[in-house]
Amino acid sequence: MPDLKQERAVQTRRRLLVAAAELFDQFGYEGTNVADIVKRAGLTLGALYFHYGNKQGVAEAVMNSQPQVIEPLLESEGLQHVVDITLVWAHRLQVDPLLRAGVRLAVEQRGHGMSDATSFNDWAAIMTEHLQIARDNGALRSGVDPEVVARFLVGACTGVQLYSQLVSDRADLMDRTCEMWQVLLPGIVSEEARADIVIDPARRGGE
């Protein structure tokens, strides 16, 4: 029964990922060791080494799981999808340890000798794809380059959450994210499409 074995491996990886994220979120990379991770996950060091190689391997997996946390929650497409990513991300950064740890590690990674842009590039690729849909639907102003906007948005969101964390522990992150769109939309979206784009904290979804 190879399916059962595979299913068990998925579960094991998931348990390690969540346990590591909870610790990274609270104590940071330096403040977390592999023994604590496997203890919290109720697994063995062998399992961690087998599935992730070492602490840095788990940390990279946590950083790069961001789109898997957010994307399944979204149903929109085009520019609205890009807006929704930022709103759901802003909300879940306050409640989801896996996302919180992923962003914390992505921001602080250089201090720990890591340099992995995968999570940034993955988000930029997803946003580019949806901005291309928007452009093909005539929703973008002429001359707006989906790739340029996507690349900028990924950087901008990263910095906006960092600023918000310092001043309010992210309590004002949703407001700041809506403000971001208030600044950006007039330069990006075509007149005709403007009324269709909803910038509303309620789109953050449940929980």
Judged by the rule CB under 8 A, the positions of this chain that interact with a second copy are: 28-30, 104, 107-111, 115-117, 120-121, 141, 144-145, 148-149, 151-152, 154-167, 176, 179-180, 182-188
Q: Please, what is the minimum distance in Å from the beta carbon of residue 62 to a second copy?
A: 15
Per-residue CA distances from 170 to 68, 89, 90, 123 (Å): 22, 12, 8, 20
Q: Please, what is the minimum distance in Å from the beta carbon of residue 79 to a second copy?
A: 14
Q: Please, what is the minimum distance in Å from the beta carbon of residue 136 to a second copy?
A: 19
Q: Which is nearer to a second copy, 125 or 162 (CB)?
A: 162
Q: Please, what is the minimum distance in Å from the beta carbon of residue 1 to a second copy?
A: 42
Q: Which is nearer to a second copy, 9 or 167 (CB)?
A: 167
Q: Which is nearer to a second copy, 43 or 197 (CB)?
A: 197
Q: Which is nearer to a second copy, 51 or 92 (CB)?
A: 92
Q: Please, what is the minimum distance in Å from the beta carbon of residue 26 to a second copy?
A: 12
Q: Indicate the length of the chain as a whole number.
A: 207
Q: Which is nearer to a second copy, 108 or 129 (CB)?
A: 108
